Amino acid sequence: MISDRIIICFASNWFYDPTSKHHIMRLLSQNNHVIWVNYHASRRPALTPTDFRAAAGKLRQFIEGPRRVSQNMTVITPLIIPLPGNATARRMNAALLTRQIRQVIRGLPHRPIQFWSFAPDVDYLCGRFDEECVIYYCVDEFSQFTGYDHDAVLMAEQRLCARADLVIATSHALHQSKAPLCRRIELVTHGVDHAHFSTALAGETQIPADMNSIPRPIFGFWGLIQDWFDVELVASVAAARPNWSFVLIGEVATDVAALRPLPNVHLIGRRPYAELPAYAKSFDVGLIPFRINELTRAVNPIKLREYLSAGLPVVSTPLPEVARYREHLELAATPEQFAAACERALRRKPATAASAAMSAETWEAKLTEISRYVARVSPEIGAQNRAAPVRKR
């Protein structure tokens, strides 16, 4: 297992719902010091209330300075210019980020440094921290996200893949598409906090009070409700089955006008990660109603393993990575097929065998696998000549 390192991690906001990056870095922080950089220069902000609020939050975090969120985890929100694809902004960001990160490094015991990125566009920082290796942890087809500069992201990602000593791809589609760009790439699918979500099966876990008045059966979803969420599909099924309840947990970041008039659809907002197993206990079926497009064909939804760990039968649209678990779930594309799949899923409950299967797919197991791959590249690192000069800290 990786230990006694300083790990610089470029990722989205630490102060948000846990994703793969949170789970992996929390585990790495047990034996290393992690500097988590809230990187927010991948997308040009829009003139919307949401982006104004996000910018204000980032400014507050920058003013607060580095935060020690645990003994071995420091989070910084740097001052950077969110103009992807702009050469001047890249040069300025390189100087700004290097200075701000080095300030944190100087306050830590001297250790070898590793550079990890969950963002596709930080190639311009490679080699600036005398790092022993560069690891790109590729979790999405970023060029397909709404609001991202498609060409700029692809070009930056291509440069990062070429510079990285190791690329971790979390889906088969990502592994296939990135492999031609990389010196070394490995497929490591997402893990799950099985111990946490399997508490949904425990007798002592109490169903949340706000779920007690919602009629069953309950078809539930948690996660960001963004434009990859098929609003029309859920609205059609809910309208066709008025005696079923649909509970959607998460921030709404897309138009859900088709859902709001339906009395059996409950948009209840975000809930703390710690409470999700209790909500899972109130569900009869877990849903993954994603649109099928270039973005979602590469996605590997963590919620699939969370639902299964909680003992929930699952109904999903036919996402390629989800289809690999077809023995534990139902797949459907059209509203009619989705409603029929939900009926079949009700007969699967409880899905205790699926929960047991997930006990082998923990984040600890995934990090052990990743650590073996990192160890394979480490002996080669000192002998390699990087494409850009190393700048001593």
| pLDDT, tens digit, 9 for 90 and up, residues 75-85 | 999 878 777 67
In this prediction, residue 62 carries a pLDDT of 55
Q: Do 369 and 283 belong to one domain? A: no
SS3 category, 260: coil
Instruction: Report CA-CA distances (Å) from 247 to 30, 130, 222, 230, 317.
Output: 36, 49, 8, 14, 17
Averaged pLDDT score across all residues of the chain: 90
Are 90 and 124 in contact, with CB atoms under 8 Å apart?
A: yes
Rounded distance between C-alpha atoms, residue 28 and residue 16, angstroms: 19
For the segment 126-181, what is each residue's pLDDT rounded down to a tens digit? 999 999 999 999 999 999 998 888 999 999 999 999 999 999 999 999 999 999 99
Q: Do 172 and 315 belong to one domain? A: no
The mean pLDDT of 248-276, rounded to a whole number, is 97
> What CATH number does the domain containing 199 carry?
3.40.50.2000
Rounded distance between C-alpha atoms, residue 106 and residue 103, angstroms: 5
Residue 139 belongs to a domain: yes
In this prediction, residue 159 carries a pLDDT of 96
For the segment 12-48, what is each residue's pLDDT rounded down to a tens digit? 899 888 999 999 999 999 999 999 999 986 655 555 6
Q: Do 316 and 327 belong to one domain? A: yes
**Greater confidence, 388 or 227?**
227
For the segment 46-101, what is each residue's pLDDT rounded down to a tens digit? 556 665 565 555 556 656 778 999 999 999 998 787 776 778 888 888 899 999 99
Rounded distance between C-alpha atoms, residue 351 and residue 271, angstroms: 24
Residue 389 belongs to a domain: no
Task: Please give the model's pTM, rounded to 2 decimal places.
Answer: 0.91
Q: Do 43 and 111 belong to one domain? A: yes
Are 251 and 197 in contact, with CB atoms under 8 Å apart?
A: no
In this prediction, residue 81 carries a pLDDT of 75
Q: How many domains does the chain have?
A: 2
Q: Can you give the residue range of the structural domain that contains 341? A: 194-356
DSSP state of 77: -
